[in-house]
Structure 1
Amino acid sequence: MAAPRRAADGRLDTRPGPDPAGPPLPPGTTSLDLGGRAEALVAVPGGPSGARPLLVFCHGAGGEAAQSLAAVGDVATARGVAVLATTSVSTTWDLLAGGLGRDVAVLDAALQEVAAGLAVSRVALGGFSDGGSYALSLGLANGDLFEAVLAFSPGFVAPPGREGRPRIWVAHGTHDRVLPVERCGRRVAQQLSTAGYDVTYDEFDGGHVVTPGLVTAALDTWLGPSG
């Protein structure tokens, strides 16, 4: 089935805001009903009601939404940040598997469900490995939605277009044997800096991983140390 034109352009239509129209999403993890085989999970922090930051997170190749929540969910929700994660339709994201379309459409549908039930103050897009590359590429094309892009061990950046000027955080391990830092993280950070983006590059002594410390550093860059 051909992807909708908008999805094929990599553009997302949904804009979550502070005044959801539907019943509230409960605290904890909820599986969103998107129809068909599409899978999406949202983790909502407990605590006082009110608009919250929303982090959309993309898993690595061969992963699924639950792995995204396992990687970043505990640290994020402890900071009062809700996390939305979808599972790629194929073994990796559509941009790397034939072209943008189906995963963009699923993500837009998931954002629509979240926007109906969660008051959102600000939105960032993040991801790990292939998901990091996807987050950078989709994030630059939707900088009017995502104010920051948080990329853990990305391989490349290939936006279908550019809209807005999101802030960029990139982390990469010096001992990464999956996506070597010299031709991946360092190169991506330099490309984005040269293009005029506000880039924070965090090179660490480690491999192809997401750690709680890195998640904290990413959130600090996005929200501020006490955000």
Structure 2
Amino acid sequence: IGPDRTVLGGFSMGTVMSYALGLDGGRPAPAGILALSGFIPTVDGWEPSLADRTGTKVLIAHGRQDPVIPVTFARRARELLERAGFDVDYRESDAGHNVDPGDIPRVTAWLERVL
């Protein structure tokens, strides 16, 4: 299966890894990144490769009540990606640090569109 049929996704630190792999200029761009309650990593010596990945679709879902990774991280990711030209589907809910069950139908529909 090629990168054009691959979605990288995760929850919390799984999201961080999905961003790190999906936005790494040394790797093929995936079809999508599914980001649940995470953030784009900031690591010395690494910058996300954005200009060559704008075809990658991104779904971000994050709870406003998240005590582990505040929702401001999701808002920053959305702002950075949209400014770079990414197609971002963004949703906040009143969830904490968990997957909001209300997001499952949205994630399913998004995956069907992306793949």
Question: Normalising by the residue count of structure 2, what TM-score does the alignment of the two structures yield?
Answer: 0.76
Residue pair 2:93, 2:100 contacting (<8 A) in 1 also = no
Whether 2:17 is the aligned partner of 1:139: answer: no
Q: Residue 157 and residue 200 in structure 1: after superposition, are their counterparts in 2 closer, same or farther (change >3 A)? A: farther
SS at match of 1:134: helix
Say which of 178, 189, 204 aligns to 2:78: 189
Displacement of 1:170 in angstroms is 0.4
SS at match of 2:5: strand
Counting matched residue pairs gives 105
SS at match of 1:209: coil
Aligned-partner Cα distance in 2 for 1:143–1:197: 16
Residue pair 2:63, 2:100 contacting (<8 A) in 1 also = no
Aligned-partner Cα distance in 1 for 2:96–2:6: 28
SS at match of 1:126: strand
Moved over 6 A (4+): none
Residue pair 1:143, 1:166 contacting (<8 A) in 2 also = no
Whether 2:25 is the aligned partner of 1:156: answer: no
Specify the alignment match of 1:46 in structure 2.
Answer: none
Amino acid at match of 2:9: G
The unaligned stretches of length 5 or more in structure 1 are: 1-15, 18-120
Q: Calculate the aligned-residue CA RMSD, in Å.
A: 2.3
Specify the alignment match of 2:58 in structure 1.
Answer: 168
**Larger RCO, structure (CA 8 Å, separation 6 or more):** 2
Specify the alignment match of 2:99 in structure 1.
Answer: 210
Specify the alignment match of 1:222 in structure 2.
Answer: 111
Q: Residue 174 and residue 160 in structure 1: after superposition, are their counterparts in 2 closer, same or farther (change >3 A)? A: closer
SS at match of 1:179: coil
Cα deviations by residue, 1:6-54 (Å, 9 ceiling, x for unpaired): xxxxxxxxxx26xxxxxxxxxxxxxxxxxxxxxxxxxxxxxxxxxxxxx
Q: Residue 125 and residue 221 in structure 1: after superposition, are their counterparts in 2 closer, same or farther (change >3 A)? A: same
Aligned-partner Cα distance in 1 for 2:9–2:70: 20
Identity within the alignment, %: 35
Say which of 7, 13, 16 aligns to 1:124: 7
Residue pair 1:147, 1:166 contacting (<8 A) in 2 also = yes
Amino acid at match of 1:130: M
Amino acid at match of 1:138: L
The unaligned stretches of length 5 or more in structure 2 are: none
Residue pair 1:132, 1:150 contacting (<8 A) in 2 also = yes
Question: Normalising by the residue count of structure 1, what TM-score does the alignment of the two structures yield?
Answer: 0.41
Aligned-partner Cα distance in 2 for 1:143–1:212: 31
Specify the alignment match of 1:70 in structure 2.
Answer: none
